[in-house]
Amino acid sequence: MKHELSIMKQIWLWGAALIASALLYGCSSDTDNDGGTPPPAHQEGYADPDGVILLNQGARTSENSTISYLAPDGTIEKDVYRTVNGSAFGNEAMDLDMCNGKIYIMSNNLFQPNSEAGDGCLVVVDAETFRREKVFTADDLVFPRPEGSLDKDEMLPLMTPLENIAVMDEHNIFFSDSQGLFRLDGTTGELNIVKGSYAFGNQGATIETVIDTRGMAVIGDKLYCCGGGFWITPCLLEFSKGSNEVSRTLDLSHASDFSSGICQTGEHEILVATCGRSGDKKSVLFFIDTRTMTITREKQVNADISAEFMNTPGIALCGDYIYYAAGTLTVSRMSLKTWQTEEYIHVKEDAPNANYLTCNVIADAKKNLLYVSVSNELGESIVSDGNVLVYDCSSDEPRLVNNLVNPGSYPVNIYPVSRFY
**Tens-digit pLDDT profile for residues 330-378:** 999 999 999 999 999 999 999 999 999 999 999 999 999 999 999 999 9
d(CA 135, CA 122): 6
Look at residues 208, 167, 204, 171 and name the one whose alpha carbon lies nearest to residue 186: 171
**CB-based contact 54:65 (threshold 8 Å):** no
pLDDT band at 8 (very low <50, low <70, confident <90, very high): very low
- The pairing of beta strand 93-99 with beta strand 330-335: unpaired
Give the bridge partners for 369, in sequence order.
364, 392
Comparing 103 with 8, which gets the higher pLDDT? Answer: 103
Residue 16's pLDDT is: 39
Name which residue leads in pLDDT, 70 or 27: 70
Which secondary structure element, helix H or strand E, spans residue 2, and what is its range? helix 2-19
Summarize the chain as % helix, strand, coil (round to 5): 10, 40, 50
Contacts of 5 (CB under 8 A, 6+ apart): none
| pLDDT higher than threshold 90 for residue 36 | no
CA–CA separation, 154 vs 152, rounded Å? 7
C-alpha span between 57 and 357 (Å, rounded): 13
| Single-letter amino acid, residue 238 | E
Give the pLDDT mean for 388-396: 97
pTM comes to: 0.90
Distances in whole angstroms, Cα of residue 214 to Cα of each of 190, 273, 354, 363: 24, 11, 25, 15
**What does the buried/exposed string (b/e) look like for 61-80 if buried means 16 or more CB atoms within 10 Å of the residue's CB?**
bebbbbbbbbeeeeebebbb
Q: What's residue 21's pLDDT?
A: 37
Residues 250-274: pLDDT tens digits? 999 887 788 999 999 999 999 999 9
Average pLDDT, whole number, for the chain? 90
Task: Give pLDDT, residue 400.
Answer: 98
Predicted pLDDT at 338: 95
Kindly list the structural domains of the chain, giving each domain's residue range(s) and its CATH number in brackets, ordered by start: 2-420 (2.130.10.10)
Say which amino acid occupies 36: G
> What pLDDT does residue 42 have?
59
Residue 11 has pLDDT above 90, yes or no: no
pLDDT of the residue at 343: 98
Q: Whole-angstrom Cα distance, residue 353 to residue 275?
A: 30
What per-residue confidence (pLDDT) applies to 255?
79
Looking at residue 251, its amino acid is D
Mean pLDDT of 306-312: 93
Q: What is the pLDDT of residue 233?
A: 87
3-state secondary structure of 69: strand
Q: What's the average model confidence in pLDDT over 247-252?
A: 96
Residues 252-281: b if buried by 16+ CB within 10 A, e if exposed: beebbebbbbbbbbeeebbbbbbbbeeeee
The arithmetic mean of pLDDT across residues 102-129, rounded, is 98
Q: What is the pLDDT confidence band of residue 230, given thresholds at 50, 70 and 90?
A: confident
> 62-108: per-residue pLDDT in tens?
999 999 999 999 999 999 999 999 999 999 999 999 999 999 999 99
